[in-house]
Structures are given as structure tokens and as C-alpha cells.
Structure 1
């Protein structure tokens, strides 16, 4: 435990000490369930902490070995975890299928990949470290469902109203279950292998016993729905895997849907990739060189210093270098404070990303004001910043050994910045359609001024651009 105490002490030094104290308390006194797949967003809400500081503290805790990070591909329908991996590199398929919902999805980093933190077994052993020993419904709660599904505390009592049967089968074991089928849609589902059988029960009730065999094997996908009649069923379930399986038979009714209906925000992969702490401490350990992961909405901010060459000529290399470095530090601090991340610098230019448009707009306004303050302190307008914004879909990729972004949205944002001058921030209409952006601008007394429709170089359609004076 002394090693753990040393790590926690180091965490207080490198991250938010208040959040670190609460993590210390969680590790020492939290239940096993509370220490499995911790949702940092919910953690911040629960204790009234700043969300970005909480995420950063958990990232530091993960890097130190206090917690193991899991990247979980989620079903948008039921909230189940279709696949889990220790790095984003494991999200390497073009298509994921939820057997429970019988629906396929192309993965996106916006709402389909969550990031959770489980206490390391070196710090404290919990039941989830050996999931095959978890009680049946705890396996569903702690392993199958994501941290974004707020399952009720009385899950067993609630679920029993929809459940007809549930059984635990060891490897190679077989069970014979007898039940009375009601009219409706019945699901036989195993949370370990995701094996599924759908039953459509309809027609005239029968007194004759119906027979059905379900074989659970590794990698099995969902089956076509079978039609049965209301009445007695003799179900044989066989486990052909080398693991314990947990098949249950339940009615897909309003009660079941109600159990899964309460959702909470969770830490998405998109949010994490645009987190400066994550980029700083994990660097290239994010994507494989061939990975192309879709993000449906990300906001890009580009900046550049106008006349930087003349600045070097006017004040000399050393003084100009110090000025430019001071400008970079201010921009980095503002980006991080607005939950964004600097992707790269190109000469005197900066490319940054933000999970939402209002964060980017707030950062842009703060950058402009910060440059004015720096210039006022020197008594000269030597740092003249051009800023451009755009929001839209993109791909997260690995370029030149760093996590980067690719796509038309990136190109448009860069082109918009190229059109900007130092008097006004330029942004596209896509950014301004966000309600929270409108609130920020209204609160700042800024009225967007439309510019003539513009054809940007390399873009085959007109882009509506607005100036923020």
C-alpha cells in the first residue's frame, strides 16, 4: 500500500489535488462496483468538480498505473458494450453489430466509444478483475452495460418482472428449462458471448409442449426470430464455449425498456482526443498508422501571426522569438482551459480542436483579448492574430507519428483562417448555428457580420462566412 500512497501523493502534485483526494478516498473505501469502469464525467458531477480537471486527473492516474483505461464500443440503442479494449487501437473494425438490438453500426468517436477507468489490480483487487466470478446480474451491470446506462439500484427486483428464466452454465454444461411463454416478443440473450435468439410468440395458445434448443458458442451472432405460440416451452441451452455463460429469457416489454431508459453523460473518445492533457501524456500511443476513425462533429480553430517575418526584422531574432513563444504559451493555456487541444503548430500558426463549437468560440474571443493585453503591455501592436473557425465531420488519423485529423472540415477551417485579418475573427455558418454560441456572442455584445459567399481554394461549394468584430 505504500507504493499506492506514493502514487497518490504524486497525483496530487501533477493534477487537481481536490480530485486526487477524492480518488484516494474512492480507492480506500469505495465498493468494488464503484471502482469498476469509473465514469469521470459522472464522478465530476457527483462531487461538484470541474469536469475537465477531473478528466485530466484520471488521465494522470491512468498514466501512473493507479487505474486501467478501457475504450468501449457502445451500442447506441441499448447502451451495451459491443467490444472493449485497453487502447483506441483496438477499435479497428468498420462495422460493429449489437446482437441484443439486432442492429449494425459504423463506429464513430462521438457517442459510440466511451472511455472508463478501473482501479488497477496492483492497487486493489475488485470482483470485476475476475468477471467470470461476478454474480449473474452484476455481470450484466458491470461488464455488459456501459457507464452511460444508469441501471436502477433494485435491478434484480425490476428485472424479475420481465425475466422468465436465467441460468449460469459452466463450460460444456447444458440446462433444460421449462417455462410458460406469454404472447409478445421474447429475447434469449447471453451477455458473455452476446449469443441471441429472438422469439415472436403469437397466435392461438397451445397446451402442447414446444421444444427449442439453443447452442451458445464463441463468436455466434444473432439468429432470425422464430415464431412460437403462447404456452409451455422446453428450452435446452448448451454452452459450447470455454467460459461461463449467463443466458436469460425475458420479455421485451415496457418494464425492460424502462430499466434501460435512464442515461447519463460519459467520457467519449472524441472528448478525450481533444483534451490537452491526454495529448501531452499519451502522445503517439493512440492510433495505429492505418486507423481511420470517424468523428461526426468536431470544431477546428486555426490561428496565425500576421507579419511575423517583419517582426523578426524589426525587433531582432531574440526578442521576436521570446514574443512568439509568449504568444504560444497564452494560446496553449486558453485552448486547454476551454477543453480543447493543440493538434500541431506550423511555423507561427496553431491548429486546435474543441469538442463543441461554443468552446472554440470562447477560446477565440479570449485569444483576441489576450493578444491585445500582450500588445498593451509592450506598447506596440506586434502580435497580430488571425483566427478562423469551422465545425463538421472528420477522420482521426495518425500522421507523422502523431494523432491528427483529416478531411474537408479541416481544409475549410484552414482556408477560413487564411481569409481572416486581425480586426475580426472569421467563422463559418456551421459554428454559428449552435445555440450556445449565440448565447456567448450575445453576452459579449457581438453581432456576426455576414461576408459575401466565398469559394474557398480546393472546395467545390460556396461557404458562408461571418466576421466577429
Structure 2
């Protein structure tokens, strides 16, 4: 078997993995344990995952989606593509229908492509038999371990989204994501900015701001989902990285505009919220849908220039509080009731460029504000 892995970001690591896989047993090539490779070569998990995703695109590996019963761990369904995903599956061991969740019961595995090497069918049979035996012995969800790759690790990977852009949910299907942090950004006073600059110059400046944001979002392991005019929507699996990305973006943009004329200085407002969301296909691309997305959009609209506004759930995260303290000593607390939503929400406004200051937010009906120490 001859394989050659390619990875333009780090070909040296790809070559190491190529040499290693060329000398392993056939059994290792079935459901290849990426975490072992990460440990052996002291590589970053993200780099190893990207090398394997590139390998799928290049025909070196196949990617298998395994839908486990969330109760017992039984394999209810296997598929070679996201195309075959469905919101629900049936467990023959539990005799129950269950909902699929990207960050809970969906496992992804890489195996050598059969065009390069046909593996013994006994590997797959033994895998299924082991899970069945564990269920019989009362050892449930035995497929889980700290290093397991889940569906969320793939759909939240930017290289996967770039190379496998045609990998979409079809037939109106959706997959739940239990933990998603949604970031919305927007250009403050955009109409005035377009009037001052003219469409051509404004487009150039806005395009640069979008590029900066996309680069930062990706560097903090988030996914830039889409742009809507001068607005950006991004989704992160890690809420702390989402907030840190927002802070970094504000800081970089502030540095970028310092030497520009005042009328050319882009001012950005951002909002973040965490919760469950649905992965769906909209406009022929993977997108996110649901109340969490809707609330994040509402939250970002309460921000003023160069503010990041976060929900109570994010503010209660100790790591995010530490990040806030690195930016400012006070935040603006706001009680608000959004239109058509019965519940009150508590928001926190963080002013990034000017340390130790807090700017009152322009709220919606029912909003009240107070300044508080972090």
C-alpha cells in the first residue's frame, strides 16, 4: 500500500503520518485512532484532524458517520456521508426512537480507503460485536472515551466545510447541537458610513473588516457561517474561545483604524449567546437555526459602537469573567425584554477599546441599565 498525505499548512507533519501509516497493521487502519497519532508525534489535534480531512478529499481515507443510541451506545446507523443523516434513528437494543445530537451520540471515524487497501470484514464485525457484548454486560455507551471524535468536530471544522462544501443535510433533515455559541457582528451606523465614503470605498473597507473577522474566527476554532451585508454570523463550540475571538477582533480593528481619518474608522458592535441550535441546510450550505441564533441576533442589536454584549449564561462562565477583567474593570448590566419573547433577559455590555469604561446600551422596550464591577 502506498499513500501520500498532503497538507499545505504543515507538509512535514503530513509526511510523518504518511510514513507511520505505511508501517502499521491493517487493524490500525480501521477506525484509525487519531489521538494516538497526536500523542506519538506531539502534534496539535486540529492539525492531525485537518490532515485526515484533506486525506478524505484526496481519496486516502473514508469518513464514517456512526449514529449511536444515546442510552445504550448501540450502533443504530452508519453512513459514509452527511447526506444520509437523519434527525432520528431507531435502536434495536432499546427498542426506541432517539434524536441525533452532533456533540453527544454521533461518532466519526477515519479508515483507509478501500481503493488503497481492502480491510478484513472481521474488523467491522468485531467492532459491532464488542459494543453488543458491552451492552449485554451493562457497560453502556462503551464507544465513548476522552479523545473520541464526534460529529461536531467535523461540521465545525473549516477545512471540512471548504473541501466538502457539497456535504449537506438533505430532505429537510436537521441535527441538534447541544452547545453552540453564536456570534453576530455588525457595522455601527452603517448608513452614515456609506454616505460618507461612497459605495465603492465603503465596500473596500467593509471587505477588509470581514476578512479580519473571518481570519480571527477561524484562528479561535469558530466557523464563519455567513455574511449578511456588513453583518457576520459565526458559531463556536467553545464559549470561551468565542468571547476571546470577539475581544481580539475588536482590538485588532481598533489598531487598524487608529491612523485613518475619523470618517473612515469602522466601528463594530457584537453580541454572543450560547445554547442549543439545529444544524440545517439553508441556501445550499450548512447553517444554524433556532432560538439561540435568534436571541444572539437580538442581543447584538443592543450593542453600541465597539461593544461586545453577552448573555447571562456566558457571563456566569468563570473563564469568560477572567477574560472580561483583562479588558475592563466594569460592565454595563441590562435587563431587557425582547419583542415577542415573554421572558426577561440579563445582558452585559463590555467596552473593549477603552479600559475601565462602560457605555450605556441602547435597549429595546422594557430595558434598564446599571454599571457594575466585574
Scaled by the length of structure 2, what TM-score is found?
Answer: 0.83
The residue that corresponds to 2:302 in the other structure is: 419
The residue that corresponds to 1:140 in the other structure is: 126
Measured in 2, the distance between the counterparts of 1:284 and 1:324 equals 28
| 401-410 or 276-285, which deviates more | 276-285
Deviation at 1:429, TM superposition (A): 1.0
Match of 1:119 among 112, 116, 127: 112
Deviation at 1:22, TM superposition (A): 3.0
Deviation at 1:431, TM superposition (A): 1.7
The residue that corresponds to 2:315 in the other structure is: 432
Measured in 2, the distance between the counterparts of 1:407 and 1:259 equals 28
Give the alignment of 1:98-113 within 5 angstroms.
99=93, 105-113=98-106
Q: Does structure 2 retain, via aligned residues, the 8 Å contact 1:289–1:399?
A: no
Q: Does structure 1 retain, via aligned residues, the 8 Å contact 2:331–2:349?
A: yes
May I ask how many residue pairs the two structures share in their alignment? 350
Deviation at 1:377, TM superposition (A): 4.6
Question: Which 5+ residue runs of structure 1 have no aligned equivalent?
Answer: 147-188, 197-249
| 269-278 or 37-46, which deviates more | 37-46
Deviation at 1:358, TM superposition (A): 0.8
Deviation at 1:421, TM superposition (A): 1.1
Measured in 2, the distance between the counterparts of 1:326 and 1:379 equals 16
Scaled by the length of structure 1, what TM-score is found?
Answer: 0.68
The residue that corresponds to 2:146 in the other structure is: 264
The residue that corresponds to 2:196 in the other structure is: 314
The residue that corresponds to 2:266 in the other structure is: 383
Measured in 2, the distance between the counterparts of 1:398 and 1:301 equals 19
Deviation at 1:301, TM superposition (A): 0.3
Alignment CA distance shift 1:40-1:332 (3 Å): farther
Are 2:5 and 1:19 equivalent residues in the alignment? Answer: no
Deviation at 1:343, TM superposition (A): 1.0
1:398 counterpart SS class = strand
1:12 counterpart SS class = coil
Match of 1:50 among 44, 47, 54: 44
Deviation at 1:260, TM superposition (A): 4.6
Give the alignment of 1:53-452 within 5 angstroms.
53-77=47-71, 79-97=73-91, 99=93, 105-127=98-120, 131=121, 133-134=122-123, 139-141=125-127, 143=128, 252=137, 257=139, 260=142, 263-378=145-260, 380=262, 382-442=265-325, 444-447=326-329, 449-452=331-334
Deviation at 1:64, TM superposition (A): 1.1
Deviation at 1:124, TM superposition (A): 3.0
Measured in 2, the distance between the counterparts of 1:352 and 1:88 equals 21
Measured in 1, the distance between the counterparts of 2:288 and 2:34 equals 25
Measured in 2, the distance between the counterparts of 1:144 and 1:16 equals 38
2:176 counterpart SS class = strand
The residue that corresponds to 2:349 in the other structure is: 467
| 317-326 or 64-73, which deviates more | 317-326
The residue that corresponds to 1:246 in the other structure is: none
Q: Does structure 1 retain, via aligned residues, the 8 Å contact 2:71–2:141?
A: no
Deviation at 1:315, TM superposition (A): 3.1
CA-to-partner distance for each residue in 1:67-122, whole Å, 9 max, x for gaps? 101111123455443321011232315243261x6765322111211221111122
* Structure with the greater alpha carbon radius of gyration: 1
Measured in 1, the distance between the counterparts of 2:114 and 2:44 equals 28
Alignment CA distance shift 1:145-1:430 (3 Å): farther
2:178 counterpart SS class = strand
Measured in 2, the distance between the counterparts of 1:273 and 1:259 equals 22
